[in-house]
């Protein structure tokens, strides 16, 4: 039986993002909150979780990700800025400024790129580490809602069910080559343009660790699993399923699926819904592996540790579960130690 | 019959099935349930050991793995507690047992209603194999008694007004004849009537009653065929052949049916509506004659009248009644088919769930669209408020307009087409309700529906409205079959993400002005 414990020090306001460090053997995770702070936690022995640092911003922070190592984190803030934070010194560097709130930020270690997406319908691509070139901007047709990177691809999920897939390699080379052009507008065609297989607003997207595809979720309790490979064979494999629903008096109450996270080793993925439930799925076998007891509020974020041994779940009330009143105890971060085969694909 | 029963176990069977407290699943027997619990709820995550109870697992966890079990795995959210010791069916709190029973009952009734509705669907287009028609069987003594009454009444009627009784009586014989179309039972009865007409007062004719009394028994099975009847022309003919055989003593009759009842008349009467509408009309016209007869074949004998008279007239010597009955038949024909044809008897779908009246054969099932209990209730209340889901579902604004639009629409579309206005109105409003409800229900159809919705308001006053309605209706009905449930989106704004909404809240507001100053 897996054990789950709640982190004691939690943000004062709703949690917007939670991400475990992707670096091997790291048990750190960062949490972005609407209370304008980014928190850094470290898990010790799987039982104790301590808050290492807190980085204050001018506005609510909507997303956070780790950079090239645990000392570097990037934040997407509602004050339109994308920042790099040096954990050791606590210094914040503004990488670029969008024309609206920044929704997501991701880091590709393979190509050393920081990609941010903002509600001004642009994606900014920043060089990770030392700047050999300045930030490049890609215009999007719609507002982006979620970003995800795999080792070779960048997936941008937007409003109107649009979805663009970029090849990071192309992006990196384009950025370098157009480094000195004016305004740094990149007129780059996405590698693929897709329409979401879900009929409703895309909520979250994450890429498979094996770089073969991605899963996206919508506000209408559904998750789609798709493959990058444009061949008909691969495209025929894509599917979608319903989840995070509750049957109440003949009415199917449908919750948004707020978070998706792939397990770094097993390739299964977790979804967190507005119903406060986290479920583990096997994308290949199309099976649900596990469903965890309902939590007190909507699940805002889920993340697996790099070792795959821990699953962190952040809950906070919000529009997702129909409540907008903040109640004590509704915000929480739960760490679940996963048993050996708990989220492993069943071999049968 | 028995086979059907197998498919659809009765309530007791379902209620007595063992079920799992933790996940509400039910099982064929207790052993399987216990195995299920061990595998799903009482299995140790660490070592895979299967314990017998949650308490056992808890002890195992703490002793072997030094861990505390806080919740039962794979359990429903409110059932994951460790405080209740469950083993198989033992230990389940009484109130939860009752809740479960209630839920099972509700589900049972719903599926039954659905089955009835679904089973009837084919009846509209071909035949209703699932239509739960049960033959009315009567004991011989009862039948004899009735026959005696009937005879007495007949005699009395003849003595009172020999002439006029003929004028009235045509109906019963007609019904007798017509019945063959639905059942073979009818043809046997026919002779009985025939006697009264052709040779009214002869006692010799009474010697035939045996055929009458016996008839119902063989009739029993054919009765079921009644539901097949309206669309299929051939079944009745077969029915005749059978019908005539059991009465070797009445060769004439045996032939008459086959010759005199071509399949066409059978196809005409839409039975369901007849049953409902006929009685008031029929009763007054056959006071002396019919009472004894009716109980045997109530309802069906009536609708039989409609079709029979014509063929009967060609055969029967009685000149009076072909003339009399046809108008009646026509009237009915005009009346019911309209109500029935254009709207697949939706009004009566309500009656499907009602118990059938004791004296009547079981209510026929219709090709009604599946309507959930809530919608039924609303329809029966006579109001057509949009289902609650509509209020909540905001993301498709155009849809919200549709319930009200459709609610207003029915009267204008119906009035010209249907004489039985309330029939039609109910029907159409029901259909609209379903259409709109299912529109909302079906997330997949949302896009298509959204396209259709804007066109509705425009077409409202025009004549094309009904057609359009029908199209969408059909579409949505199909969808409805797959997803009878309504859905409610917790977050239904398809344009603005929750984060954007939060960002707009004053407490999170960030004014760019502040920023530009800083830069």
B364 falls within a domain: no
Specify which residues A242 forms β-bridges with.
A222
Q: State the Cα torsion B265-B474-A252-A278 to the nearest 10°.
A: 130
Which among A4, A254, A277 has the least Cβ separation from residue B489?
Answer: A254
Mean pLDDT of B187-206: 42
A73 within 8 A of A18, measured Cβ to Cβ: no
Are B171 and B309 contained in the same domain?
A: yes
Question: Same domain for B222 and B88?
Answer: no
Q: B144: which 2 tokens? A: 């004899």
Cβ of B312: how many Cβ atoms within 10 Å?
26
Q: What are the distances in angstroms from CA A284 to CA A212, A221, A268, A290, A344?
A: 11, 20, 8, 15, 12
The closest alpha carbon to B510, from A180, A62, A336, belongs to A62
B50, pLDDT greater than 70: yes
Residue A165 contacts residue A154 (beta carbons within 8 Å): yes
> Measuring CA to CA, which residue among B21, B187, B201 is closest to residue B94?
B21
- Which chain B residues have a beta carbon less than 8 Å from that of A274? 490-491
Residues 6+ apart with CB under 8 A from B63: none
Residue B82 in any domain: the answer is: yes
The tens digit of pLDDT for each residue in B285-334 reads 443 444 444 444 444 434 434 443 444 433 444 444 434 444 444 434 33
CA distance A304 to B490: 27
pLDDT at B463: 39
The verdict on a CB contact (< 8 Å) between B389 and A251 is yes
* Edge-to-edge strand ranges of the sheet holding B486-489: A245-248, A251-254, B486-489
| Alpha-carbon span A135 to A180, nearest angstrom | 10
Q: Kindly list the residues from chain B whose CB atom is less than 8 angstroms away from the CB atom of residue A315.
A: none
- Asked if B77 and A294 come within 8 Å (Cβ–Cβ), the reply is yes
B139 touches chain A (CB under 8 A): no
CA distance B20 to B317: 71
Of B486, B502, B514, the CB nearest to A319: B502
Mean pLDDT of B354-369: 52
- Structural contact between residues A61 and A79, judged by C-beta atoms closer than 8 angstroms: no
Write out pLDDT tens, residues B483-504. Answer: 556 778 887 777 888 888 878 7
When computed from its CA atoms, the radius of gyration of chain B, rounded to whole angstroms, is: 31
**B413: pLDDT strictly greater than 80:** no
Q: Do B16 and B148 have their domain in common?
A: no
* Mean pLDDT of the B243-267 span: 41
Distance, in Å, from the CA atom of B496 to the CA atom of A310, rounded to the nearest integer, reads 33
Q: Do residue A251 and residue B486 have CB atoms under 8 angstroms apart?
A: yes
CA distance B212 to A229: 77
Global confidence as pTM: 0.50
Least confident of A15-29, A108-122, B38-52, B428-442: B428-442
A contacts of B45 (beta carbons < 8 Å): 1-2, 339, 342
Residue pointed to by tokens 């954990």:
A87
Cα distance between residue B262 and residue A139, in whole Å: 76
Residues B310 and B388 in one domain: no
CB A180, CB A132: distance < 8 Å: no
> What is the C-alpha separation between B151 and A72, in angstroms, rounded?
104
pLDDT value at B46 more than 80: no
**Contact (CB, 8 A) for A136 and A122:** no
Searching chain B, which residue's CA lies closest to the CA of residue A5?
B70
Instruction: Tell if the CB–CB gap between B510 and A247 is shorter than 8 Å.
Output: no
Residues sharing a CB contact under 8 Å with residue B397, sequence separation 6 or more, in sequence order: none
**Which of B3-17, B46-60, B86-100, B184-198 comes out lowest in average pLDDT?**
B184-198
Please tell me whether residues B36 and B152 are part of one structural domain. no
- pLDDT given for residue A328 in this prediction: 60
Residues of B in contact with A94 (CB under 8 A): none
Contact call for B508 and A34, based on CB within 8 A: yes
Dist. CA A244–CA B220, nearest whole Å: 52
Q: Judge: A34–B70 Cβ closer than 8 Å, yes or no.
A: no
- State whether residue B372 sits within 8 Å of chain A by CB: yes
In a shared domain, residues B292 and B409: no
What does chain B come to in residues? 519
* pLDDT > 70: percent of chain B: 30
- CATH class (in words) of the domain with range A3-337: mainly beta
B73 part of contact set with chain A, CB < 8 Å: yes
Distance between B489 CA and the closest CA of chain A, angstroms: 5
Same domain, B161 and B306: yes
CB under 8 Å, gap of 24 or more: what pairs does B6-13 form?
B8/B112, B8/B115, B11/B105, B11/B108
Please give, rounded to a whole number of angstroms, the shortest distance from the CA of A260 to a CA of chain B: 16
Q: Examine the domain organization and report whether B234 and B146 are in the same domain.
A: yes
Q: Given A79, A219, A339, which is nearest B491 (Cβ)? A: A219
Q: Do A291 and B74 touch (CB under 8 A)?
A: yes
Q: In the prediction, which pLDDT does A155 show?
A: 93
Q: Which residues have CB under 8 Å from B117's CB, separation 6+?
A: B349, B352, B365, B366, B368, B369, B370, B371
Q: What is the CA radius of gyration of chain A?
A: 19
Task: Return d(Cα A298, Cα B488) in angstroms, integer.
Answer: 16
* Residues of chain A under the 50 pLDDT cut: 1
Q: B248 at the A interface (CB within 8 A)?
A: no
Q: Tell me which range, A98-107, B62-71, B181-190, B456-465, is most confidently predicted by mean pLDDT.
A: A98-107
- State whether B372 and A250 contact (CB < 8 Å): yes
Q: Which of A58, A245, A319 sits opposite B498 (nearest CB)?
A: A319
Distance of residue B22 Cα from the nearest chain A Cα, in angstroms:
12
Cβ distance A199 to B443 less than 8 Å, yes or no, reads yes
**pLDDT of B269-294, one tens digit each?**
444 434 444 434 434 444 344 444 44
Domain that holds residue B456: 382-482
B13 in a structural domain: yes
Average pLDDT over residues B337-363: 45
Neighboring chain A residues of B514 at a CB cutoff of 8 Å: 58
Minimal CA separation from B391 to chain A, in Å: 13
Of A222, A274, A339, the CB nearest to B491: A274
More confident residue, B214 or A95: A95
Q: In terms of pLDDT, which residue wins out, B447 or A273?
A: A273
> Is residue B64, in this structure, part of any structural domain at all?
yes
Look up the ipTM and state it. Answer: 0.83
Residue B61: partners with Cβ closer than 8 Å, 6 or more residues away? A1, B44, B46, B67, B68, B69
Residue A2's pLDDT is 54
Spell out which residues of chain A touch residue B508, defining contact as CB-CB under 8 Å.
34, 59-60, 78
Residue A36 in 3-state DSSP? coil
* B360: nearest Cα among B423, B244, B276, B258: B276
Closest to B477 in 3D by CA, of B375, B405, B364, B395:
B375
The string of DSSP codes covering B193-258 is HHHHHHSTT-SGGGG-HHHHHHTHHHHHHHHHHGGGTTT-SHHHHHHHHHHHTT-TT-HHHHHHHH
Q: Give the integer Cα–Cα distance in Å for B503 and B499.
A: 6
Report the residue from A16, A251, A320 with minimal CB separation from B485. Answer: A251
Q: Please give the average per-residue pLDDT across B394-400, as a whole number.
A: 40
Q: Choose the most confident range, by mean pLDDT, from A221-230, B5-14, B157-166.
A: A221-230
Q: What is the chain A residue with the closest CA to B519?
A: A97
Contacts of A247 in chain B (CB under 8 A): 485
Q: Given a cut of 70, is residue B43 above it in pLDDT?
A: yes
Integer Cα distance of B265 and B180 in angstroms: 11
Q: Of the candidates A14, A78, A322, which has its C-beta nearest B490's C-beta?
A: A322
* Subunit contact B491:A322, Cβ cutoff 8 A: yes
Residue B132 belongs to some domain of the structure: no
pLDDT value at position B7? 61
Q: Is the pLDDT of residue B472 over 70?
A: no
User: Total structural domains in chain B?
Assistant: 3
Mutate to test the interface with B, among A62, A220, A241, A338 (most CBs of B within 10 A): A220
Contact yes or no for A1 and B494 at CB 8 A: no
- Tell me whether residues A1 and B501 touch, CB distance under 8 A: no
Q: Does any domain span residue B363? A: no
Which of B106, B498, B511 is best to mutate for the A interface (most A CBs within 10 A)? Answer: B498
Residue closest to A145 by CA, chosen among A54, A90, A217? A217
Closest residue to A250, CB basis, from B75, B374, B494: B374
Shared domain for B272 and B173, answered yes or no, is yes
* Strand A278-282 with A269-273, pairing: antiparallel
B381 falls in which pLDDT band (50, 70, 90)?
Answer: low
- In angstroms, what separates the C-alpha of B77 from chain A's closest C-alpha? 6
Q: From residue B486, how far is each of A251, B106, B233, B472 by CA, in Å?
A: 5, 17, 40, 17
* Beta-carbon separation of B44 and A80 below 8 A: no
Taking residues B207-222, what's their average pLDDT? 40
State residue B222's pLDDT score.
38
Q: Are residues B425 and B282 in the same domain?
A: no
What's the pLDDT tens digit per position in B473-482? 444 444 444 4
Are B149 and B258 in a shared domain?
Answer: yes
- State the virtual CA torsion across B344, B348, B352, B356 in degrees, nearest 10: -130
- The answer to whether A280 and A326 have CB atoms below 8 angstroms apart is no
A319 vs B491: CB contact, 8 Å cut-off?
yes
């Amino acid at each position: 039986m897996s054990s789950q414990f709640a982190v004691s020090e939690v943000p004062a306001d709703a949690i917007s993002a939670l991400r475990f460090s992707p670096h091997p053997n790291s048990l750190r995770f960062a949490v972005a909150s609407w209370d304008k702070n980014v928190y850094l936690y470290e898990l010790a022995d799987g039982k104790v979780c301590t808050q290492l640092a807190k980085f204050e911003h001018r506005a609510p922070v909507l997303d956070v990700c780790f950079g090239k190592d645990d000392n570097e984190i990037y934040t997407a803030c509602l004050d339109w800025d994308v920042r790099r934070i040096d954990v050791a010194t606590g210094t914040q560097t503004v990488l670029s400024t969008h024309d609206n709130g920044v929704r997501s930020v991701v880091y590709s270690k393979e190509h050393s790129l920081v990609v941010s997406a903002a509600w001004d319908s642009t994606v900014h691509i920043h060089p990770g580490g030392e700047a050999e070139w300045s930030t490049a901007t890609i215009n999007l047709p719609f507002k982006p809602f979620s970003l995800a990177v795999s080792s070779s691809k960048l997936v941008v999920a937007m409003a109107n069910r649009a979805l663009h897939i970029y090849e990071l390699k192309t992006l990196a080379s384009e950025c370098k080559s157009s480094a000195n052009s004016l305004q740094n507008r990149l007129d780059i065609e996405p590698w693929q343009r897709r329409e979401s297989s879900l009929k409703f607003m895309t909520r979250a997207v994450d890429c498979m660790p094996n770089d073969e595809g991605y899963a996206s979720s919508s506000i209408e309790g559904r998750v789609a699993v798709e493959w990058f490979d444009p061949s008909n064979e691969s495209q025929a494999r894509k599917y979608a399923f319903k989840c995070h629903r509750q049957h109440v008096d003949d009415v199917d109450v449908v919750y948004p699926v707020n978070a998706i996270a792939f397990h770094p080793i097993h390739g299964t993925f977790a979804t967190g819904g507005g119903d406060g439930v986290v479920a583990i799925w096997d994308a290949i076998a199309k099976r649900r592996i596990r469903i965890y007891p309902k939590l007190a509020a909507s699940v805002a974020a889920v993340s697996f540790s790099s070792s795959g041994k821990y699953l962190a779940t952040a809950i906070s009330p919000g529009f997702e579960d129909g409540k907008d009143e903040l109640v004590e105890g509704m915000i929480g971060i739960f760490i679940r130690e996963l048993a050996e085969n708990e989220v492993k694909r069943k071999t049968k | 019959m028995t086979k059907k029963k197998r498919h659809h176990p009765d309530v007791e069977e379902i209620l007595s099935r063992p079920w799992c407290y933790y996940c509400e699943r039910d099982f064929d027997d207790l052993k399987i349930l216990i195995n299920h619990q061990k595998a799903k709820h009482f299995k140790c995550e660490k070592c895979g050991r299967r314990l017998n109870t949650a308490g056992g697992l808890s002890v195992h966890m703490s002793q072997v793995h030094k861990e505390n079990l806080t919740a039962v795995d794979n359990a429903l959210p409110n059932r994951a507690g460790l405080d209740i010791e469950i083993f198989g069916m033992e230990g389940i709190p009484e109130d939860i047992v009752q809740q479960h029973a209630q839920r099972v009952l509700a589900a049972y009734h719903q599926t039954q209603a659905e089955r009835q509705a679904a089973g009837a669907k084919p009846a509209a287009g071909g035949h209703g194999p699932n239509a739960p028609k049960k033959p009315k069987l009567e004991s011989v003594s009862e039948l004899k008694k009735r026959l005696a009454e009937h005879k007495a009444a007949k005699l009395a009627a003849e003595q009172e007004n020999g002439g006029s009784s003929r004028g009235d009586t045509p109906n019963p014989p007609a019904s007798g004849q017509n019945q063959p179309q639905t059942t073979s039972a009818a043809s046997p009865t026919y002779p009985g009537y025939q006697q009264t007409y052709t040779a009214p007062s002869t006692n010799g004719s009474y010697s035939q009653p045996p055929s009458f009394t016996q008839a119902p028994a063989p009739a029993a099975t054919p009765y079921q065929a009644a539901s097949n009847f309206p669309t299929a022309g051939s079944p009745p003919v077969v029915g005749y052949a059978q019908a005539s055989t059991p009465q070797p003593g009445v060769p004439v009759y045996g032939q008459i049916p086959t010759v005199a009842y071509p399949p066409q008349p059978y196809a005409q009467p839409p039975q369901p509506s007849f049953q409902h509408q006929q009685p008031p009309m029929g009763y007054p016209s056959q006071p002396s004659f019919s009472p004894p007869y009716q109980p045997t074949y109530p309802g069906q004998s009536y609708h039989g009248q409609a079709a029979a008279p014509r063929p009967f007239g060609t055969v029967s010597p009685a000149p009076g009644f072909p003339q009399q009955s046809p108008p009646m038949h026509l009237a009915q024909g005009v009346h019911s088919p309209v109500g029935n044809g254009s709207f697949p008897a939706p009004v009566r779908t309500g009656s499907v769930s009602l118990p059938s009246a004791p004296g009547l054969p079981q209510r026929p099932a219709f090709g009604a669209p599946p309507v959930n209990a809530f919608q039924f209730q609303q329809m029966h209340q006579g109001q057509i408020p949009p289902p609650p889901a509509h209020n909540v579902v905001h993301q498709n604004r155009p849809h919200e307009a549709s319930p009200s639009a459709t609610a207003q629409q029915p009267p204008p579309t119906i009035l010209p087409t249907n004489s039985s206005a309330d029939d039609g109105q109910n029907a159409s409003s029901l259909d609209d309700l379903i259409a709109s409800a299912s529109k909302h229900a079906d997330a997949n159809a949302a896009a298509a529906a959204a396209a259709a919705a804007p066109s509705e308001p425009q077409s409202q006053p025009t004549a094309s409205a009904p057609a359009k309605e029908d199209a969408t209706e059909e579409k949505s009905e199909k969808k409805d079959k797959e997803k009878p449930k309504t859905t409610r989106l917790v977050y239904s704004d398809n344009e603005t993400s929750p984060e954007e909404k939060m960002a707009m809240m004053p407490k999170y507001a960030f004014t760019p002005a502040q920023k530009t100053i800083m830069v």
